[in-house]
Amino acid sequence: MENKTEEIKNAVRKELEGTEYEVSSLTPLSGGTANFIYLARLRKPLSGGVNQVVLKHGEAYVALHPDFKLEMVRCNIEEEGLRLLSQFPAVISPPYEVGTPKLYHFNSQTSTQVQEYLPNATNLKAYALANFQGPTTASTKPQCLQLGQSLGRWLRGFHNWSDQPDNQGLHKLFAKNTAMRSIKKAINYDQLLGRLSMFPAILQEHKGTLEQIVAMATAELGDESKLSVIHGDFWTGNILIPNAPLDSDEAVPIRIIDWEMAQVGVRAEDLGQAIAELWQLKLYKQINAALWIIEGFVSGYGKVDSDFMFRVLIHVGAHLICIGSTTPGWGTPEDGQDIAKAGRDVLLNAWKKNAEAFRGHDLQHVLG
C-alpha cells in the first residue's frame, strides 16, 4: 500500500510538470479517506500571488481502504459541482464568510483537481478537540452560537439556492450520483440492522421498529421527484476554519469541502449528520461548546416544520448507532455502547414524535 501511495504521489507530480500548477513540493494532508490529498507548493505563483494549493486525486477505490471500490463519476460530479457552486455567493454572517473552495483545474483523464488552499486551516472537529476541551469561559458561548448560526445560514442558503429555477443544473448533476446515494443509505440505515448483533442488549427488542425505519429510508429514495439537492457528507470534518481564536475582528473564511457525496436526497440528513457529529464531541469528550454550536446551527438554518426536525433527529440517532458508536480511537467499547444507547433513545423518540422526551435534553434546541 505504501508503494502504491508513493507511486500515485509521483504520478500526480509528473502530470503537472510544464503546467502553471507544476509543484516544488507535495505534502499529504490528513482528514480524508476516499482520495489522495496534498498541500502543494507551486514553482511559480498563480496570478494574485497564490503559491499554495490543494491537490486532490481520485482512484476507483477508497484511498485508505483499497478493497472498498468507488465509481469514478464522483470526481467529475465534484468538479462540475464546484464550478456551478461558484455562482452561489458566500454567505456572510460577520465575522464569518462561508463558501465553497475555488476550483482552479481539473484533469478528467486522471481525476486530479487543483483547489483553493485555506492557509492555517483545520477542520471544525479538530478545532473543537484542540480548543474546547476542559472548562470553557463565558465568552466562548456567544462565539460558538455565532459560528453555528453562520453554518446554519449557509446550509439553508445553499438548499434554497439549489431550488431556484436557474440552478436546476445542479439538481440534474447531483441526481447522477446514485452510487454515492446508495452508499450513504447503506451506511446510515441498512447498517442499523447489522448493529443488532453488536448491541443486542440495547437494540434487539426494537428490531421491528428499526426495520420500519430502514423501510422508510428506502421508500424516501424511491420517488426522486420528492428529493432535493444535498451536500451528502455535511459534517465537522468537511468544515474548514482558520486555526485561530474565534474572537476575530477581521473576516473569518470558512470553506465547505468534499462534494463528491453530493446527491439528490433527504434534506434533513444534511442537518442530522452535522448535529450528530457535534453531539459526539459532547458525548465522548465532554465538550459543552458543541451544544452551543448546535443551538446556533439550528437557529441559523431557520424555521421548518416539526416533521422535518423529527426527521433530522431520526438521522442523528441512526448516525450515532451506525457510525458514532464505532468511531476509531474515540473511546472504549463501553463508551461505544453508551453512544449507541444515546442514539437509540433519540431515534425511537423521534420516530414516535415524542417532543416531551427532548425537553431538557442536549438536543432540546433542535425542536425549538
Q: For each of the chain's 368 residues, which pLDDT tens digit applies?
A: 567 889 999 999 999 999 999 999 999 987 678 899 999 999 999 988 999 999 999 999 988 888 989 999 999 999 999 999 999 999 999 899 999 999 999 999 999 999 999 999 999 999 999 999 877 777 899 999 999 999 999 999 999 999 999 999 999 999 999 999 999 999 999 999 999 999 999 999 999 999 999 999 999 999 888 999 999 999 999 999 999 988 777 889 999 999 999 999 999 999 999 999 999 999 999 999 999 999 999 999 999 999 999 999 999 999 999 999 998 888 899 999 999 999 999 999 999 999 999 999 999 999 98
**Residue 111 included in any domain:** no
Per the CB < 8 A criterion, the answer to whether 29 and 38 are in contact is yes
Residues 96 and 215 in one domain: yes
Residues 194 and 181 in one domain: yes
What is the Cα–Cα distance from 254 to 99, expressed in whole angstroms?
Answer: 6
Start-end of H helices in 97-189: 124-131, 140-163, 168-174, 178-185
Residues 95 and 65 in one domain: no
Edge-to-edge order in the sheet of strand 36-42: 23-28, 36-42, 52-57, 112-116, 103-107
Residues 262 and 204 in one domain: yes
Residues 87 and 50 in one domain: no
Nearest-CA neighbor of 365 among 292, 307, 311, 316?
Answer: 292
The domain of 269 spans: 73-101+117-367
Q: What digits encode the pLDDT tens for the residues 283-299?
A: 999 999 999 999 999 99
**Residue 193 included in any domain:** yes
Residues 12 and 156 in one domain: no
Nearest-CA neighbor of 57 among 1, 3, 6, 126?
Answer: 6
What is the Cα–Cα distance from 90 to 342, expressed in whole angstroms?
Answer: 35
Q: What digits encode the pLDDT tens for the residues 124-183?
A: 999 999 999 877 777 899 999 999 999 999 999 999 999 999 999 999 999 999 999 999
Peptide bond before residue 253 is cis, with ω within 30 degrees of 0:
no
Residues 5 and 141 in one domain: no
3-state SS class at 114 = strand
Residues 89 and 45 in one domain: no
What is the Cα–Cα distance from 214 to 157, expressed in whole angstroms?
Answer: 29
For 348, the enclosing helix (H) or strand (E) is helix 333-351
**Residue 322 included in any domain:** yes
**Residue 337 included in any domain:** yes
What is the Cα–Cα distance from 284 to 166, expressed in whole angstroms?
Answer: 43
**Angle (deg, nearest 10), helices 333-351 and 306-322:** 160
What is the Cα–Cα distance from 235 to 217, expressed in whole angstroms?
Answer: 20
Residue 201 DSSP symbol: H
**Residue 126 included in any domain:** yes
Residues 30 and 125 in one domain: no
**Residue 106 included in any domain:** no
Per the CB < 8 A criterion, the answer to whether 139 and 247 are in contact is yes
- What total of structural domains would you count in the chain? 2
**Residue 110 included in any domain:** no
CATH code, domain with 215: 3.90.1200.10
Within 10 angstroms of residue 130's Cβ, the number of other Cβ atoms is 10
**Residue 112 included in any domain:** no
Residues 218 and 239 in one domain: yes
